[in-house]
Amino acid sequence: MEKRRVVVTGIGAVTPLGKDAETTWNNAINGVSGIGPLTRVNADDFPAKVAAEVEDFDPTLFMEKKDSRKMDRFTQFAVAASIMAVKDANLEITEENSDRIGVWIGSGIGGMETFENQFETFLNKGYRRVSPFFVPMLIPDMAAGQVSITLGARGFNSCTVTACATGTNSIGDAFKVIQRGDAIAMVTGGAEAPITRMSVAGFCANTALSTNPDPKTACRPFDADRDGFILGEGAGIVVLEDLEHALARGAKIYAEIVGYGSTGDAYHITAPAPAGEGGARAMKMAIKDGGLEPNEIDYVNAHGTSTAYNDKFETAAIKEVFADHAGKLAISSTKSMTGHLLGAAGGVEAIFTVKAIQEGIIPPTINYVTPDPECDLDYVPNQARKQEIKAAMSNSLGFGGHNATIVFKKYE
């Protein structure tokens, strides 16, 4: 069966770095941090004191107020980012094409805020006072559902839940839908709003979060003094499109998506497999799927969470995949600026990866001060770098042993 070529024609984002993709990108290449004091919950209750929050987000810029009240914050982010991505792609969804345009948007933990608030209502006032919208606001697939309703996209519609690999798996899976001819376009990525009491409590309890109280230095991927990730929120959405369809309508093309790899560690519920073995297989699979050799990859947007195990094992995995070429690769963790958006991370990082290809600028890993002997590659420290990029990959590695990698090429 002939594989269709698939390109990125639109991007949309709501992140701690900006409430649209352009602002987010410009802040990233300028090394701006979106991390600040933890304000969405009472920081006095937790050892973690900082977070990457989306400030002053107004959902009514994208939807009616009455509709926004029926959505959890993660779904509001998804709808906003999707509307912006489709507008950026200049893609018109009509009665004629709507059943060939789909949505694949995931979330790692879904409507946590809704769950907590409604459970409190139930405990204090009984079941009759629980919102009839409780379940539709809570379930992770509702981002994809509401985006489909908002856009009128009636094609392939799905939701991936693979923890921190969610956004990348969603884009990879949507890519395959178009590649095999089941859609002409897919609106895809991830959304997350996890800065809630129970989420923060859970991540603090398993000691995953940084306890560094200084927002400027708390997130330091690959640095010897890293001590945990920073919880972030937002959404990253891309429009993927069949190349022929994109060319026929004169669409602008950011990059071509060519490869996807997805593996399981079969090892541990939270810790990555030793030496990043599962992540290495996902990278190899994605490179092979893209018809490339490892030495053709110029840039890796790393998962780079700023946790002790992830950064060490991801470095080991990159060395395993790229051998001698590993030392020539530019690698950066944009989580140093955005924090970790869990299920939305892969969506936002896909945008950074295609923008790096399009503009020939690699965003930096900020806060890189003290080298770690076990993390000894080129992490593009502290300042963006101008460099031509012909092919790049984005990695996401999640709790449960989920690994996902997507590969993009400069469109030719």
- Spell out the domain ranges in the chain: 6-248, 261-409
Return mean pLDDT, the chain: 98
The C-alpha angle with vertex 233 and arms to 398 and 75, in degrees rounded to 5, equals 95
What would the pLDDT profile of 13-47 be if each residue is shown by its tens digit?
999 999 999 999 999 999 999 999 999 999 999 99
The distance in angstroms from the start CA to the end CA of the chain is 23
What would the pLDDT profile of 253-307 be if each residue is shown by its tens digit?
999 999 999 999 999 999 999 999 999 999 999 999 999 999 999 999 999 999 9
Q: What is the fold of 6-248?
A: Peroxisomal Thiolase; Chain A, domain 1 (3.40.47)
Residue type, position 134, single letter: F
d(CA 258, CA 173): 12
The pLDDT assigned to 214 comes to: 97
Tell me the percentage of the chain whose pLDDT exceeds 70. 100
What would the pLDDT profile of 105-129 be if each residue is shown by its tens digit?
999 999 999 999 999 999 999 999 9
Phi-psi sector, 110: left (phi>0), alpha (psi -120 to 50), beta: left
Report whether pLDDT(1) > 80: no
Confirm whether 219 is a catalytic residue: no
> Domain 261-409: what homologous superfamily?
Thiolase/Chalcone synthase (3.40.47.10)
Distances (CA, A) of 343 to 85, 91, 108, 256, 310: 18, 25, 4, 23, 16
Residue 158 CB-density burial (10 A; 0-12 exposed, 13-18 middle, 19+ buried): middle
What would the pLDDT profile of 346-385 be if each residue is shown by its tens digit?
999 999 999 999 999 999 999 999 999 999 999 999 999 9
Segment holding 9, helix H or strand E: strand 6-14
Active-site position among 164, 204, 219, 375? 164
The pLDDT assigned to 2 comes to: 82
Helix residue ranges per DSSP H, 230-343: 243-248, 277-289, 308-322, 335-338
Q: Check if 6-248 and 261-409 are the same fold.
A: yes
Query: Residue 151 — φ and ψ, nearest 5°?
Result: -85, -20
Half-sphere exposure of 408 (CA within 13 A, CB side): 31
d(CA 294, CA 320): 11
Strand partners of residue 172: none
How much is the pTM?
0.98
The pLDDT assigned to 355 comes to: 98
What would the pLDDT profile of 188-241 be if each residue is shown by its tens digit?
999 999 999 999 999 999 999 999 999 999 999 999 999 999 999 999 999 999
Report whether pLDDT(170) > 80: yes
The pLDDT assigned to 396 comes to: 98
The mean pLDDT of 99-109, rounded to a whole number, is: 98
The pLDDT assigned to 62 comes to: 98
What burial letters (b/e) apply to 354-392, b meaning 16+ CB within 10 Å?
bbbbbeebbbbbbbbeeebeebebbbbbeebbeeebebb
What is the DSSP-derived secondary structure letter of residue 30? T
The pLDDT assigned to 73 comes to: 98
Report whether pLDDT(324) > 90: yes
The pLDDT assigned to 186 comes to: 99
What is the DSSP-derived secondary structure letter of residue 272? P
Residue 186 near residue 30 (C-beta atoms within 8 A): no
Give the number of other CB atoms < 10 A from CB of residue 124.
8
d(CA 376, CA 312): 9
